[in-house]
Structure 1
Amino acid sequence: MVRNTPKHLLTITGIVLLLSVFCAHVLAKSNQKSENKVLIFGETLSKSRIFQKEIENTLISY
């Protein structure tokens, strides 16, 4: 099958495969970065809530 296929078709197929792998890699990296940002935002939000409760407890004790 490969012997009868013209070389330019094989070249085009190879380039398309490389581009698709590259795009998948880039999408996976950008997705991972956005997940990290969400995790950092969640941690910051939970810390601010804990800090807010400490302030409320301090004000109540006075």
Structure 2
Amino acid sequence: MVEYNFKKLSKMANNKGFKVVRIKGSHYQFLKDETGELVTIPNHGKQAIAKGTAQRILKALGY
């Protein structure tokens, strides 16, 4: 599986119409206005996001 980091996942979220609505610590919350979907993506710099967490985020984004 491809390794995902915050930068890659946040770009994918923006491409799907999600916008940052809240930042708390190292976690960014993205909201899609049309549907009200909320997705949280952890930001730990260039460090890869855990495989299961990345899969959950991708599913929530619609990939």
TM-score (norm 1): 0.21
Larger Rg: 1
Larger relative contact order, structure 1 or 2 (CA cutoff 8 Å, min sep 6): 2
In the superposition, the TM-score normalised over structure 2's length comes to 0.21
